[in-house]
Amino acid sequence: MKTFVTIISSLFLVFSSGVCTSTLLFQGFNWESSNKQGGWYNALLKVVPDIASAGVTHVWLPPPSHSVAPQGYLPGRLYDVDASKYGNGGELKTLIKALHEKGIKAVADIVINHRTAEKQDSRGIYCIFEGGTPDDRLDWGPSYICKDDVQYSDGKGNPDSGDPYQPAPDIDHLNPRVQKELSDWLNWLKTDIGFDGWRFDFVKGYSPSITKIYMDKTAPDFAVGELWNSLAYGQDGKPEWNQDKHRNELAQWVQSGGGAVTAFDFTTKGILQAAVQGELWRLKGSDGRPPGLIGILPQNAVTFIDNHDTGSTQKSWPFPADKVLLGYAYILTHPGIPSLFYDHYFDWGLKDEISKLSAIRARNGITSTSKVEILAADADLYVAKIDDKIITKIGPKMDLGNLIPPNFQVSASGNDYAVWEKQA
């Protein structure tokens, strides 16, 4: 416990106040977006006003560069934004300009753990990289691959500082040229393309100290990392009640990454999607606070219901489809930095309900560090008061006893959820 008291107190000192306290993130794509007729950037451009109407402050866009896989997660020529399956560089700039005109920041999906090569070397192995410019920026050879990635490396690089990634060469981020040229590329995405922040893909692939280097060299308006580790599961196949180890790994990564970067709160997602299936007692930790990362480091926790991996057509870890609004009722009224998913907002027809919840959040000044008082956490009922301004109820139980004071009035409700606001 002492370790994480130190983490939390130090991060409160390091973290720049105001950066994320009122941030609302929106994932502006899914796994199939690269297949959109007419281009995804053009399609998203048409709905920017709808996104803005929900109070969104940042839109997470897909990987912007040339990629062997259409979704963008096997990037090659990083400077070549015209080869993206989502659209060309001009269309991307137009989209970002439209977002900026609505006061919304653009977040780029940054895939730098691994990279696909353009050519084969004398061994017949694809390990000669092309940056996508006439000069030699990001033009690397096999010595820029981690030495323990024996499928591609020539053994001259440094050992991998994180987990291996099988589908493509693991880049040696301990190499000074790699650090400089990737930082230059990131800053080019800011100055030339218009991006404001980063979503770091597969951060378990390299040391968090590497993330800190890129954060320091690029100073993003907002940044979030994808550290996706498995929860602890019991013999019944369900998550264990205590997931402190899982959330502590996220907190440790944030601290080692310098304290300004945020992390997707996979702990909260895993607990929440189990809790809404008749086990709402899970939403109160042993310390009486929320059990996810939002319970110990809320200003660095990005909460979400699903993304292009967990949901969409991949469905690798989906939230129960009939409980999605319960999930949003939770994350949009609780601390942390909530993230909305394109599919839920547009394709599932939940725009009005989600917008109503986000409006309640904004109207009451609920922030990433708002205070939660859990009033009930039983199998069929969860009730929490946030900042003494709103009360959220999740679960089928209708008899709330005296939990809701008479000066609180219902502002939003649906199947098995309701939110009350305090009246003046």
Cβ–Cβ < 8 Å for 151, 114 = no
Cβ-proximal residues to 395 (8 Å cutoff; 6+ apart), any chain: 280, 378, 380, 381, 382, 416, 417
Pairing mode, strands 381-386 and 58-61: unpaired
- The SS3 call for residue 386 is strand
List, in sequence order, the alpha helices (H) in 257-300.
Answer: 266-275
226 given a catalytic annotation:
yes
Instruction: List the catalytic residue out of 118, 121, 184, 226.
Output: 226
Q: How far is CA 81 from CA 62, 98, 112, 129, 237, in A?
A: 11, 18, 15, 16, 43
Cβ–Cβ < 8 Å for 110, 182 = no
Total residues found in the chain within this entry: 424
Instruction: List the catalytic residue out of 80, 181, 201, 353.
Output: 201
Closest CA to 247 of 281, 295, 319, 212: 295
Active site residues: 201, 226
